[in-house]
A and B are shown apart, each in its own frame.
Chain A
Amino acid sequence: MTMIDVKNLKKSFGKLEVLKDITVEIKEKEVVCVIGASGSGKSTFLRCLNRLEDITDGHVIIDGQDITANDANINIIRQEVGMVFQQFNLFPHKTVIENIILAPMKARGITKDEATKTARELLAKVGLAEKADSYPGSLSGGQKQRVAIARALAMNPKVMLFDEPTSALDPEMVGDVLEVMKQLAKEGMTMVVVTHEMGFAREVSDRVLFIDEGLIAEQNVPDELFNNPQNERTQAFLSKVL
């Protein structure tokens, strides 16, 4: 079953055409990694999938719902699409548990008790049960990112988007976060991950998209894409990062 269906997606910032024509289908439970040079449009692509960026042209259909349609209720759609950011973006004035329960309570209308119960389970899952009442400011980067993942999961989304979730972390923190993401992938979450972690892409993803100059220049299963890239630009990019 198709979970994310992107048809002829185009995105410009004023005169700058960032995404030129992207068409891709992502199946339920699929884990797709997106790689490419800086400025190639990876983040923009990801942000179009939950309409954090307004789409210039084309369609994005999430679980059968066209999020680009005029009558689409974007707030409802976003509840189904979790997002994790490079800079974590935790709410600094709220405790860890408050960060997690806010959206389930306000957007989904779940009671505080129920939301808190789920939040504690999720915190345990990301290995941070004892941090429930801490403020984000007292956490390490890796801990913040795991809280951010728990916060997104608390909405029980159908899809999770990750934009370079480990790029802002000290090297020794990266492993913990990737471990959580691997676990999530194993449980069958549909995931789109923009990453520079080629090891993660190789090991966990079902498919890798190489974005270049606003187009998907090449896509394949990770083994093929990394060991036997067909496109010259892919070869050049991989020779630089591997």
Chain B
Amino acid sequence: MDVIIDALPYLWEGLKVTVYIFVIAIILGFIIGLIMALLRLSPIKILNWIAKIFIDAIRGTPILVQLFFIYFGLNALEFISLDRETAGIITVAVNAGAYFAEIIRAGIQSMDKGQTEAARSLGLTSTQNMRYIILPQAFRRMLPTFTNQAIISLKDTSLLSVIGIADLTQQGQIAIAATFKAFEIWLVVGVMYFIMIYLLSLLSSFLERRFELR
């Protein structure tokens, strides 16, 4: 017990970093995903291709390689200098963005065409149709899939410890170096991740009930 109490200040610092990185990355990732999904569905071929290449490249490579590419690879270029946290946030955001893009694209495409036709026949523009008719309905349907991706991204943040970000996983290692109690510390770290993920799914089912399709 004492071990855990000694370790808690370390883990608490790490938890804050993990939450901070996760929240920013997931918001950015969502924005990236929305933009990429709209480009992917755009009638303009070149935009289409840009989105497709982005999505395929991210989905076709391991996130650890993406992290190394962004942190070590991009930083090797003279005109770029990213600190660890920025590189970590970008990696998780871009990675989640590619998956969000596919989720959003599929959600939009699964909408009944009659909805768009009704909106357009009333004189709404295609942007207004997206904003007021298609996206609000599509998002409600996508909520469970969004949650899944958010949970994966939260877990992915633990990889950021390899470039020395002081997240929960990294702080766990530091706490072990100080206490030599690997079993207890990793158990507590695991429980902390579990609680965060549990809270995420609670939030998701709350939102699902709140926005239940009528």
Chain A residues with CB under 8 Å of chain B are 50, 52, 75-76, 78-79, 81-83, 85, 87, 89-93, 102-103, 106-108, 135-138, 148, 151-152, 155
Q: Which residue of B lies closest to A161 (CB)?
A: B121
Q: Are A107 and B214 in contact (CB under 8 A)?
A: no
Q: If the complex has contacts A87-B114, A102-B132, are A75 and B213 also in contact, measured as CB distance less than 8 A?
A: no
Q: Which residue of A lies closest to B117 (CB)?
A: A52
Q: If the complex has contacts A52-B117, A106-B128, are A93 and B214 also in contact, measured as CB distance less than 8 A?
A: yes
Q: Which residue of A lies closest to B133 (CB)?
A: A91
Main secondary structure of the interface of A (DSSP, over half): mixed
- Within the complex, which residue of A52, A89, A106 is in contact with B124, where a contact is CB–CB below 8 Å? A106
Measured between beta carbons, the chain A residues less than 8 angstroms from B137 are 91-93
Considering the chains assembled together, what is the distance between the CA atoms of A152 and B119 in angstroms? 10
Which 9 pairs of residues, A with B, have the shortest CB-CB distance? A79-B123, A89-B118, A103-B122, A89-B114, A83-B121, A135-B214, A107-B123, A78-B123, A137-B214
Measured between beta carbons, the chain A residues less than 8 angstroms from B118 are 83, 85, 89-91, 148
Considering the chains assembled together, what is the distance between the CA atoms of A89 and B120 in angstroms? 12
Q: If the complex has contacts A91-B115, A91-B133, are A50 and B128 also in contact, measured as CB distance less than 8 A?
A: no
Interface centre among A76, A83, A106, A152 (most CB of B within 10 A): A106
Q: If the complex has contacts A50-B121, A75-B124, A106-B124, are A89 and B115 also in contact, measured as CB distance less than 8 A?
A: yes
Q: Are A78 and B120 in contact (CB under 8 A)?
A: yes
Measured between beta carbons, the chain B residues less than 8 angstroms from A82 are 121-122
Instruction: Give the number of residues in B that approach A within 8 Å (Cβ atoms).
Output: 20
Nearest chain B CB to A5 CB, angstrom units: 20
Q: Are B123 and A76 in contact (CB under 8 A)?
A: yes
Nearest chain A CB to B38 CB, angstrom units: 19
What are 28 A-B contacts with C-beta separation under 8 Å? A52-B120, A75-B125, A78-B122, A78-B123, A79-B122, A82-B122, A85-B114, A89-B118, A90-B118, A91-B115, A91-B118, A91-B119, A92-B213, A93-B136, A93-B214, A102-B132, A103-B122, A103-B124, A106-B128, A106-B132, A107-B123, A107-B125, A107-B128, A136-B214, A137-B214, A151-B122, A152-B121, A152-B122
Considering the chains assembled together, what is the distance between the CA atoms of A50 and B123 in angstroms? 10
Q: Are A103 and B123 in contact (CB under 8 A)?
A: yes
Contact of B52 with A by CB under 8 A: no
Measured between beta carbons, the chain A residues less than 8 angstroms from B121 are 50, 52, 78, 81-83, 152
Q: Which residue of B lies closest to A103 (CB)?
A: B122
Q: Which residues of B (157-214) have their CB < 8 Å from a CB of A?
A: 213-214
Measured between beta carbons, the chain B residues less than 8 angstroms from A92 are 137, 213-214
Measured between beta carbons, the chain B residues less than 8 angstroms from A81 are 121
